[in-house]
Amino acid sequence: MAAVWGVTRESFLAGDTSRVAREAVAAAVSSRNACPFCVEAHAMSLHGAGRHDLADALASGRPVSDPALQPLLQWAAATRDPGSPLLKALPCEPSDRPRFIGTALLFHYINRMVHVFLGDSPLPGLPGMGLARDAVRRAAGKLFMSGLASRPVKPGLAEGLRLPVRQDGPGPEAIAWAAGDPHVHRAWWNFHRIALGLGERHVPVQTRILIADALEAWTGGDMGLSRGWAFEATRSLPQEQQPLARFALLVALASYQVDDQVVRDFLAVEGAGQRLVPAAAWASAMATFRIARWLSHHPEEGFPGGI
């Protein structure tokens, strides 16, 4: 949890990069990943910042009218498409680049965890769509999140996280994009190290190899509605490993397909209960770092005049 807080703080909260723009990037990534909980949460934050038109557009899936934000949101949605020309130049100042990329990657991770462990909305039990829900979302944003998006946060990991200082050098390829900001770089290096450790402790090596191969072949597309592909992909593993491998594979590539039956199958294996959260965190992180490698292969430093 400390490592996740570290990347959240340094990528999404700290520094003078526009917090409204980062909220919008988070919502755009969440929309691309079909995570309605996160889209609505970020819309509420934007309502709290007084950006009601932007919040309503992102929550409803309508085009955003703000010309300064449109290129950035198009880039955010394209982070699932490694071949997109939109990834070649991030529309922002070079100094903002690590925080925008870090924000996008953070929510590729969080969306997967939310799919597995949370519901569809931070406002459960309310009308599904329409003016009534819009009104409640706006009121909740003003009540609980007013000023949140404009509150300054000083860069630098919070005291008390007890995370080791990163080693000298450029770090893994998956965090090459963060090299321009030492605080973001340190936070993501620690997150990368801890995520790998979760896999080593909680996920059998055969399953880790299978997931790595599947992610290497993945090009960002949706896997469809059937889970048959996950059963087929894990069939060659020992039977006692298949439920965990199937769960991890779904979390990484199609977290929206994880339901109670997938979790029950996982938990039916003796001793699996203690592995559920670490396995989900590891698989989510591995998918995130796969996407990060796509972004690291576009070395352009952005361009002046953006957000």
pTM of the model: 0.88
Among the listed residues 176, 160, 161, 142, the one whose alpha carbon sits nearest the alpha carbon of residue 55: 142
Spatial separation of the C-alpha atoms in residues 19 and 45, rounded to whole Å: 10
| CA distance from start to end of the chain | 30
Which residue stretches of the chain have pLDDT < 50? 159-160, 299-307
93-142, pLDDT tens digit by residue? 999 999 999 999 999 999 999 999 987 776 665 555 555 555 555 555 55
Q: Specify whether the CB–CB gap between 56 and 134 falls below 8 A.
A: yes
Predicted local confidence at residue 144, as pLDDT: 53
Among the listed residues 66, 72, 86, the one whose alpha carbon sits nearest the alpha carbon of residue 28: 72
Spatial separation of the C-alpha atoms in residues 281 and 258, rounded to whole Å: 14
Predicted local confidence at residue 157, as pLDDT: 61
Predicted local confidence at residue 305, as pLDDT: 39
Question: Which residues, other chains included, contact 156 with Cβ-Cβ below 8 Å and sequence gap of 6+?
Answer: 14, 183
